Amino acid sequence: MEGLWAPSVLLLSCLLLPSSSGSQLSPSPDQRLQTDPKETPPQHHAARAIQEQKAGSAQEGLPPRPRCVRCCEPADQRFSYTQYQPLPQINMTILKGEKGDRGERGMQGKFGKTGVAGSRGHAGPKGQKGSMGAPGERCKSHYAAFSVGRKKPLHSNDYYQTLIFDTQFVNLYEHFNMFTGKFYCYVPGIYYFSLNVHTWNQKETYLHIMRNGAEVVILYAQVSDRSIMQSQSVMLELQEQDEVWVRLYKGERENAIFSDEYDTYITFSGHLIKYSGDP
């Protein structure tokens, strides 16, 4: 039994003790970490590569051994990296360029459909009373009118004779002079005049409506066995101070108009139609 135990102990000692060549070829941890821990990562890796190259040359002819890689470095050998700082963000909406030229005006589009009329809104509050305005001009109305008649007959064949009237129906503002038998224009404008007479049997009737000494229209009736009513009318544009009257004509035959003191057979009338100052 004792003879067997001695060879076993010897064999176990050979297995546990490393060979002399192996102890020389495998570098110790102190040799692997001979680099300065304060060196930068590139210098640290370069020193390790040189040591590994020397070890490789010493182990030529031996089978390759697995490379020991340390996953974590000691706390004092960890590399410090600069913290990432994000770039500042630029608001593109504030980068406004220069205003461009104005383009040409486009064509007008079609009109849309007419919408429905809305409801009437509420009445607003009553406003303040305004100030009194300046006084206006006095309203001026222009009138002129007359209507006169004659109750006496008249004969004439030797000279021109102005027809004088003895009856006054209307004489506004006394523009018709009953003594001279003439109408005097004080309001310029357009006037309407009418003359009515009664003829005499077997006598000629021949009269003119006159303006400022000039004949305007004639009233005429031939000799007849019967007496008749005869009339004439005209519109005249008169200026201020114009005169209008009726005149018997001087002829070869006896010129006469009939009337009596009971009835009025002869009338002369006129009135203003439009004042010249009106628009």
- Per-residue tens of pLDDT for the chain, all 279 residues: 445 555 555 555 555 555 444 444 444 444 444 444 444 555 555 666 666 666 555 555 555 555 555 555 555 555 555 566 677 776 766 667 778 888 888 888 888 888 888 888 888 888 888 888 887 666 677 899 999 999 999 887 778 889 999 999 999 999 999 999 999 999 999 999 999 999 988 889 999 999 999 999 999 998 888 889 999 999 999 999 999 999 998 877 788 999 988 899 999 999 999 999 887
Question: How far is 24 from 17, CA to CA, in rounded Å?
Answer: 13
Structure tokens at 224: 């007849």
CA atoms within 13 A on the CB side of 270: 28
Q: Where are the domains of the chain?
A: 25-78, 145-275
Query: By CB neighbour count within 10 A (0-12 exposed, 13-18 middle, 19+ buried), where does 3 fall?
Result: exposed
What is this structure's pTM?
Answer: 0.51
What is the C-alpha to C-alpha distance for residues 44 and 33, in angstroms, rounded to an integer?
9
| 145-275: CATH class | mainly beta
Neighbours of 158 (CB within 10 A): 9
* Beta strands at 214-221 and 205-211: parallel, antiparallel or unpaired: antiparallel
